[in-house]
Amino acid sequence: MELKHLRLIKTIADEGNIANSSQKLFLTQSALSHQLKEVEERLGFKIFSRKRNEWKLTEEGAELYQLATNVLTSIDEKLTHIKKIQQKTGGKVRVSCECYSFYRLFPLFLQDMSLVYPNIDIELVFDATHQPITKLLSLEIDLAIVTSPSSVQSLSCVEVMQDEVMMLMHKEHRLAEKSYIEAEDFADLHLLIHSYPLETVSVYEHFLKPNHVLPNKISDIPLTEVAIEMVHANMGVMCVPKWCLKSFDLPKDLIFKPISQNGLQRKLYIVVRNNDMTKDHFKDFVSTFDENINNDQSVL
């Protein structure tokens, strides 16, 4: 027996006749009669006794009516509770990143998140880029993505991804024959970055700064397409993880080189205020982001 059959039996009993019931169930009277007959044949007993336009439950039908009432009431109560949960977990989650390239991680994730929590509005706050922790503490955003875990006690950090920053260069670049790029190699290079400050540039913060090396020339090129063209013209190099350039059609004479003998590995963290980490939609944001990124082969 299906739920539609229980609803059919309860409706006929409540309405007292088939005419009103057909309107309630959006069925023709003949379709309703056919379904009822099918249920009675399957069960092997009459559910209703018919007298003119009055339909009364049989003894067996009364038991079935009670079952239908209990089941349908329970389902309606649970659905109402679920709707309240969805409403309670609705609202806006304001997100910003340490680096503009991190926003490339979001398109597929946002699609998946909207299916899990359709009542959540995720806003990417580009104005807070480069200073997400400061904005998080001042309550201007709700969630930050950074490459170094925060030590602030009021914040929670969750590692969601690990990647490798590599150098993109022309195959005829003077360093192209090296198996990997060393810190001192940067001293005579023209490094193309997306934007300042340098502290938000991973290759500087995690490799050049600790080795006390500064490139001979640094240019901020906000448009990735332009930066790629400059590398193609052998007018500079870029340091990015491969996934950042997956959506671009890279010329075949451009190559990636590891930075340092062991590669320049970095980790990405989601940072959230402690009190928000107790909220279901924030916890699901983090877990869905983690799952989405680690299942996306174009990122790994």
Provide the pLDDT for residue 85. Answer: 57
Reported CATH class of domain 92-300:
alpha beta
Provide the pLDDT for residue 15. Answer: 86
Render pLDDT for 180-213 as a digit per residue (tens, 0 to 9).
999 999 999 999 999 998 988 999 999 999 999 9
Tell me the three-class secondary structure of the chain, residue by residue. CCHHHHHHHHHHHHHCCHHHHHHHHCCCHHHHHHHHHHHHHHHCCCCEEEECCEEEECHHHHHHHHHHHHHHHHHHHHHHHHHHHHHHCCEEEEEEECCHHHHHHHHHHHHHHHHHCCCEEEEECHHHCCCHHHHHHCCCCCEEEECCCCCCCCEEEEEEEEEEEEEEEECCCCCCCCCCECHHHHHHCEEEECCCCHHHCHHHHHHHCCCCCCCCEEEECCCHHHHHHHHHCCCCEEEEEHHHHCCCCCCCCEEEEEECCCCEEEEEEEEEECCHHHCHHHHHHHHHHHHHHHHCCCCC
| Tens digits of pLDDT across the chain (300 residues) | 788 888 888 888 888 887 788 888 888 888 888 888 888 888 899 998 887 677 888 999 899 899 988 888 888 887 776 666 555 556 688 999 998 889 988 887 888 788 777 777 889 999 999 899 999 999 999 999 999 999 999 999 999 999 999 999 999 999 999 999 999 999 999 999 999 989 889 999 999 999 999 999 999 999 999 999 999 999 999 999 999 998 899 999 999 999 999 999 999 999 999 998 888 778 888 888 888 887 764 555
Domain spanning 3-87 has what CATH number? Answer: 1.10.10.10
| Model pTM score | 0.66
Provide the pLDDT for residue 48. Answer: 87
Write down the domain spans for the chain: 3-87, 92-300
Provide the pLDDT for residue 117. Answer: 77
Provide the pLDDT for residue 136. Answer: 95
CATH topology of 3-87 equal to that of 92-300? no
Provide the pLDDT for residue 73. Answer: 87
